[in-house]
Amino acid sequence: MRAATVVPGRPDSAAVTEIPEPSPADGAVLVEGMLIGICGTDVEIVRQRFGQPPPGEERLVLGHESVGRVLEAPAGSDLAPGDLVVGVVRRPDPEPCSCCARDQWDFCRNGRFTERGIKGRHGYGAGRWRIEEKFAVKIDSTLGDLGVLLEPTSVVAKAWEQIERIGARACFDARRVLITGAGPIGLLAGLLGVQRGFDVHVLDLVTTGPKPKLVAELGATYHHGGVGELGFEPDIVVECTGVGELVLDIAGSCAPGAIICLAGISSGQRRLPVNLDRINAELVMENTVLFGTVNAARRHYEQAASALLRADQGWLSGVISRRVPLRSWPDALSKRPDDVKVVVDLRD
Ligand code: BGC
| Distant-in-sequence, close-in-space partners of 152: CB < 8 Å, separation ≥ 6 | 37, 39, 65, 184, 185, 188, 341
DSSP string, 144-184: GGGGGGHHHHHHHHHHHHHHHHHHTTS-----EEEEE--SH
Q: How many alpha carbons fall within 13 Å on the CB side of residue 149?
A: 33
Q: Which atom of ligand 1 is nearest to the CA of 89?
A: 9
Structure confidence at residue 24 (pLDDT)? 96
DSSP-based three-state secondary structure for 1: coil
How far is ligand 1, taken at its centre, from the CA of residue 250, in Å?
23
Cα 318 to ligand 1 centroid, rounded to whole Å: 23
Angle CA(260)–CA(265)–CA(271) in degrees, nearest 5? 90
Predicted pLDDT at 345: 98
Decide: 204 in ligand 1 pocket, CB within 6 A.
no
Portions of the chain given CATH number 3.40.50.720: 154-292
- Taking the model in full, what pTM does it have? 0.97
Q: How far apart are CA 293 and CA 39, in angstroms?
A: 17
The domain defined by 154-292 folds into: Rossmann fold (3.40.50)
From ligand 1's centre to the CA of 342, what distance in Å? 16
Q: Which amino acid is at 63?
A: G
Domain(s) of CATH 3.90.180.10: residues in the chain: 2-139+312-345
**Distance of CA 124 to CAs 30, 161, 260, Å?**
12, 27, 32
Query: What pLDDT does 336 receive?
Result: 96
Cα separation, 85 vs 150, in Å, equals 10
Q: Which of 119, 91, 158, 104 is nearest to 292 (CA)?
A: 158
Are 264 and 242 contacting, i.e. CB atoms less than 8 angstroms apart?
A: yes
CATH number (3.30.200.20, 1.10.10.1100, 3.60.40.10, 3.90.180.10) of 2-139+312-345 reads 3.90.180.10
- Provide the strand spans (E) within 43-122: 60-61, 65-72, 84-87, 90-91, 114-116, 120-121
Q: Which helix (H) or strand (E) holds 261?
A: strand 259-262
Q: Is the CB of 247 under 6 A from ligand 1?
A: no
Distance 269 CA to ligand 1 centre (A): 20
Establish whether the linkage from the previous residue to 96 is cis, with ω within 30° of 0: yes
Q: Please give the distance, rounded to the nearest whole angstrom, from the Cα atom of residue 332 to the centre of ligand 1.
A: 18
pLDDT of the residue at 271: 86
Ligand 1 atom nearest 50 alpha carbon: 12
Spell out, as residue ranges, where the chain has pLDDT lower than 50: none
Which 8-state DSSP code applies to residue 104?
Answer: -
How much distance in Å is there from the Cα of 41 to the middle of ligand 1?
A: 7
* 320-329: burial string, b at 16+ Cβ within 10 Å, e else: bbeebebeeb
Q: Which of 42, 93, 121, 155 to mutate to test the pocket of ligand 1 (most atoms within 8 A of CB)?
A: 155
Tell me which residue has its CA closest to atom 11 in ligand 1.
Answer: 41
The pLDDT value recorded for residue 50 is 87
Cα 173 to ligand 1 centre (Å): 31
| Nearest atom within ligand 1 for CA of residue 41 | 7
Q: Which residue intervals of the chain are DSSP H helices? A: 40-48, 150-167, 184-195, 210-217, 244-251, 276-285, 298-310, 313-319
Q: What CA dihedral angle connects 176, 261, 88 and 108, to 10 degrees?
A: -150
Report whether 137 contacts 219 (CB < 8 A): no
Cβ(246) to ligand 1 under 6 A? no
To test the pocket of ligand 1, the residue of 36, 38, 41 to mutate (highest count of ligand atoms within 8 Å of its CB) is 41
The values of phi and psi at residue 342, to 5°, are: -100, 135
